[in-house]
Each structure stands twice: as C-alpha cells, then as structure tokens.
Structure 1
Amino acid sequence: MNIAGIVGVAVLLLSGSAAAQDGARAIHNTTISLGTATPGGGFPVYGNAFAEVINAADPTLSIEPRNTKGSSENIPLLEAGSLDIALVAGEPTYEAFMGIGRPAIRLKILTAMYSSPGMFVVRADSPYQIIRDLAGKPVAFGARGSGLPILSRYMLDGIGLKQDEDFQSIYLDRAGDGPAMVLDGRAAALWGAGIGWPGFKALATSPGGARFIAPDAEQIALIRAKHTFLKPLTVPANSYPNQPAPIASVGSWSFVLTRENLPDEVAYRLAKSLHGVEAALCRKLPQACETTAANTMAAAIKPELIHPGVMKYFREIGVAK
C-alpha cells in the first residue's frame, strides 16, 4: 500500500473512532424531564431529592424536575411525550391504568415512591374531633390537579359523605397555600397524606400546634369494603410534633411513571442508579425510605405494568423472577 493509501486508512479509522465516541456520548449522556407538582406540596420535595441523588450517583444521567399542576396533568404530559418520567399519586394511577373515566393508559412504572395514608389536620385549639364534625365547614382538599382530592373523595364516599356537597370544598392553586388558610380561619381543616408532607409539617410546627383527624376502625372497614384498592396504612407515632400515637388510615402508593416509549436501556440505568443509592435517598428524605425495589414489586397493580428495563434490573438483583 502506498503512503496515500496508508494515510487514507488512518483517517477513516480516526473518523470512525470519533463517530463511535460521539455515539456513545449520545447514548449515555441522557437528560430526563421529571414532572412533579405545584410548589409547597410533597411531590416537588420528593422530586428534587430524587433528582439530586440519582444525578450524583450517575453523572451520565441528568434529571431535570419541572413543576406541573400535579398528577392529573402529569399523566397526559407523559402520554404526549412531553415528560420522560413524572410523579403520580396512587388514585389517579389506579384510575388511569384501569381505564376508569378515560381510556386505559399505556405508561409504565419506574418505581413506587411512598405510601400515602390520608388524614385531615386542624388547629390544636379547634373544636373538631371526628370527620363528621367537618361536614358543612370549609375544608382545603389540596391543589387542583393533584391526587389528594381524588383520595379524599374515595375515602369520604366510603363513609357516606360527598366531598362537594357535604363540605365547603376548597381547591388550591398552590399546595403551599393550605396551611395559612387553616391558621387564619379561612379553612377549618386541610386534607393531606403521608409522612413528611409539607402541609402537615407547617401546621404541626406552628406556634399553636395541630391535631390530626382520620377515619376510625369502623370507617376504615367501610371504606375498604367499597373501594378495595385502598389499603390500610399507618402514620407511625412521632412522625409529626405532638403526635405521640400512631394514626391508622387508608391510602395508596404514589409512583414514578414513565412515558410508554422510554427506552429500556434508560429505564434500566435509572433503576440501577436509584436502587443502588436507596440509603442516600432515605437520608435525604424520610418518606423516601419507602422507595425500594421490593416495595415497587409489592405496590404495582400488576407486575407487567413495571417498565421492562426496570424488570431486567429487578431480575438481576433477585427481586423479580
């Protein structure tokens, strides 16, 4: 081969190597859009912690949280491909997968987030002691578009109450507006769910303190008999200030869902990064201690709804067969 030929081969090899490196970067440096909810609620807090931990664990992934209107907006945004992953509460997830009130979705589960036992919070000096005491009163049921008002609607229906007829229902533009409304008397109570929920924390740590109101044992049985997808859940004692006893209620698991066509390789990398740093996420956010591979398998409505890339990782670590 003459010199010109040798030079030509060398150029081809170098250009091929550069192209391969560019291709590898295109595959492995991946930006992921994450839909959360309105400021002041639990989803943005979780979403930010989720993104920080995974971004630190895998520099080739860049998760970018975005505030949205919450679960009811996140589902259509995922369907349209406008988001890669998003946080969705348990009740809208169930309705969407089951095709209740809409065509069934074809989205996938990336991970279970945390369980969400629902309850009301009132000022410590308020006269309200049980759920029926709140009938006819102004109650903030959460942000418009979030999953919280859907959970409360199911819970109240189970004990024979209608949310928009038996209460002066308030739906918030921003989740963070609820505590102030209870403190200044515009609302008798605020509805919320879960451990570490910002609205509960704000009221529980306010100067006057707060009390929680949840369904009693008989009401829990009635709710579960009518709405079997709701699960008995407990808020452990001392989850909030001046809450010495555990609080039994009902609720469901919230999920991180993915768009239908999120590549298997990306879902696998997300799952591997996330579950490889479960302890770090737990340290950053107490409620995220429930974000585990085992809980995802247990909480999924059906195993086939979990993303195939995630299931590949779960089989590798022995969580799935």
Structure 2
Amino acid sequence: MTRWRWLGLAVALLAGSAAGQQGGTVITTRTLSLGTATPGGGFPLYGDAFAKVMTEADPGLPIVPRNTKGSNENIPLLERGELDLGLVAGEPAYQAFMGIDRPKTRLKILTAIFSSPGLFVVRADSPYRNIRDLVGQTVVFGAKGSGLPIMSRYMLDGLGLKQDDDFHAIYLDRAGDGPAMVLDGRAAALWGAGIGWPGFQAMASAPGGARFIAPSVEEIAQVRAKHNFLKLLTVPANSYPGQSEAINSIGSWSYVLARENLPDDVAYQLARTLHGAEATLCATLAQACETTAANTVAAAPSLDLIHPGVLKYLREVGLAK
C-alpha cells in the first residue's frame, strides 16, 4: 500500500471516529449553542435541563447553554447565526413570525417546550385581589428583553390598560431579583408565567406565603376577543406551595427556535433524540413534561414554521402530514 493510500485510510478512520451514527444518519460531532435568559428565570432552568439530557442522549451533538437577555436578544442572535438554538417565549415568537414591528423572521421551530399561563403574584397579606386593584401600584413585569413583559402588555391591552401608564412598571436586569422586591414591599406584585417558574416558587415558599391573581372568566374572554393568539391555559392545583385549586388564565407556548440555516439532518437528529428522551427530560424537570412531539405539532402556529428536518421526523412518526 502506497504512502498516499495509507494517508487516505488514516483520514477516513479519523473522520469516522469524529462522527456519531444513529438510525442511519451520520453527523459530525459538533457543539451547538443554546441561548436562554438572565439567571433566576425559567429559561435558564429549562435550558440547563434540556442541554444535559440532550447531550447525554446524543454525545455527538453536545448542547451548551448560554445566558442572554432573553427572547428579544435570542431572536436577533439566531438571525445573525451567533446562536444555533434559542429559547423564545410565545409572544416574541408570534411577533417575529407575523412581522409585527419588525420584518418577518425566517427562524424555525425545533420544539415547543412548555405552556406559560400568565399570572400576578402578591404576598398573602396583600390587600390586592384582582388585576384592577393593581392599577396605580408598582409591579415587576419581568426582565428586560424577556418575553414576560410582552405577554403582560398584550393581556393588559385586551383589558383596556396600558402597562407603562396605568402601573409603575419595573423591568429587571436579572429575573431572579423580582420576588425580593415584592416580599420586602418595594413592589406590590410580580408578573410571571408557567408551571415551576422560579419567581412563583420563591414567592409561594416564602414565610407567610403568596396569593396568585389571574384574569377572571369575563376578562379572559375580553382579552381573547382582541388577541386570539393567546390561549386559555391552566395552572394545575398544587403546582406551587399553598395553591390548592387550579388557576385558569391565558398565555402561550414557548419554543426552542433554530437558526434558519441549521442543517436539516442536524435538526432531524435533534428531534429524534429529544423525543426519544421525553421521559428522561420530564423526570429531570417537571415543566419539561410538556416538551413532546405531539405538543410541538399542536402549539406551532402552522406546520411550515417547524424546521424541515423536524417536520421530516414528525411525519415519520405519524404526527404530521
């Protein structure tokens, strides 16, 4: 065998050892970046669990989470190719997909991650009982750049209220700073969303406890009449300490979005790996139990917004046509 043939064989062997093979698909090992949000919020918590489970399930496609300013930063970072994947809340994703106040994005959905029913939380000894009671009060609406303030803005607009005019609105640099501001009296309420959200958990677990404020049945109908992309969602009973009854509210689904040019075979492999590891992800983080292939199909505004590689997988397993 000539030296050149030996060299060619060595190169081929090295290339083979650097690739992962699963179900007939060969993908060269590479690291994928995942944009989350500021520490103390739900996205970093989810992102860490997602990256851990996915990397253990497929070491050939390791995922590394990266703290960002949240949804409103993750979208442009993805569009510039500075992130491979990013967590994005439902309202910023909706605005990007529809081209509201910006050009339509070409980003695609990798998976729906969890539903986010929006709520206010106050101290249990607070006099505030409904949303109208909070008018004129200091309210923490979430971290700058996150999707939470956008969700609340839509909800309040549906009730004829303006977030920055009818409330003393506070926007945080760090999502985790919100509960302390309510507990020590600097703010009357904290806005948040989801099941297992760290801010709600901190408030509900504090001495004295907490109370949640959601829109009434009539207010939900009023908001959805104006903004029908918001969905009726429920926080099940006992999701938080002291919360003995289910709470109905409105909100949206959050997503993992992928950069436009993420290769189809990479997206396919991620979808296959993710949905093969659904039970493990659920066992790792309670709110990740909603991260399923079926929920991705149900939550996507339309199937053409799902990444083509993911859609190929969903069609193979009979969840999409």
Q: TM-score, normalised by structure 1?
A: 0.96
**1:157: which partner in 2?**
157
Q: Which residue of 1 aligns with 2:110?
A: 110
Aligned residue number for residue 47 of structure 2: 47
Corresponding residue for 1:242?
242
Query: In 2, Cα distance between the equivalents of 1:48 and 1:76?
Result: 21
Q: Deviations over 1:65-124 (max 9, x none)?
A: 000000000000000000000000000000000000000000010000000000000000
Q: Deviations over 1:29-77 (max 9, x none)?
A: 1200000000000000000000000011011111000000000000000
1:16 to 1, 8, 23: 8
Q: Secondary structure at the match of 1:245?
A: coil
Partner AA of 2:102 in structure 1:
R
Please give the secondary structure, in 2, of the residue aligned with 1:61: coil
- Could you say what secondary structure the match of 1:115 adopts? strand
Find the counterpart in structure 1 of residue 281 from structure 2: 281
Q: Counterpart of 1:261 in structure 2: which amino acid?
A: N
The corresponding residue for 1:257 is 257
Question: How many residues align structurally?
Answer: 313
Name the SS of the counterpart of 1:117 in structure 2: strand
Q: List alignment gaps of at least 5 residues for structure 2.
A: 20-26
Letter in 2 for 1:91: E
Q: Cα deviations across residues 225-248 of structure 1 (Å, max 9, x unaligned)?
A: 000100000000110111111100
The alpha carbon displacement at 1:28 in A equals 2.2
The alpha carbon displacement at 1:15 in A equals 2.1
Q: Aligned pair 1:317/2:317, yes or no?
A: yes
Q: Quote the Cα distance in structure 1 between the aligned partners of 2:172 and 2:293.
A: 33
Q: Provide the rounded CA distance (Å) in 1 between the counterparts of 2:189 and 2:12.
A: 60
| Aligned residue in 1 for 2:127 | 127
1:30 — aligned with what? 30
Q: Could you give the per-residue CA deviations for residues 246-301 of structure 1, whole angstroms, max 9, x where no partner exists?
A: 10000000000000000111111111111101000001111100000000001001
Q: The residue matched to 1:14 in structure 2 has which SS?
A: helix
How far apart, CA to CA, are the structure 2 residues paired with 1:120 and 1:233? 15
Q: Deviations over 1:130-171 (max 9, x none)?
A: 001000000000000000000000000111111000000000
Deviation at 1:17, TM superposition (A): 2.5
Q: Residue 307 of structure 2 aligns with which residue?
A: 307
Question: 1:188 matched to which residue of 2?
Answer: 188
What percent of counterpart residues are identical? 72
Matching of residue 140 in structure 1 with residue 130 in structure 2: no
Shift of 1:318: 1.5
User: What's 1:206 paired with?
Assistant: 206
Quote the residue 1:3 is aligned against. Answer: none
Task: Name the stretch that deviates more: 14-23 or 74-83.
Answer: 14-23
SS in 1 for 2:125: coil
In 1, the alpha carbon distance for the partners of 2:10 and 2:87 equals: 38
Aligned to 1:170: 170
Structure 1 ranges of 4+ moved more than 4 A: none
| SS of residue paired to 1:176 | helix
**Alignment-mate amino acid for residue 159 of structure 1:** L
Query: Structure 1 counterpart of 2:243, which letter?
Result: Q
The residue type paired with residue 57 of structure 2 is: A
SS of equivalent to 2:68: coil
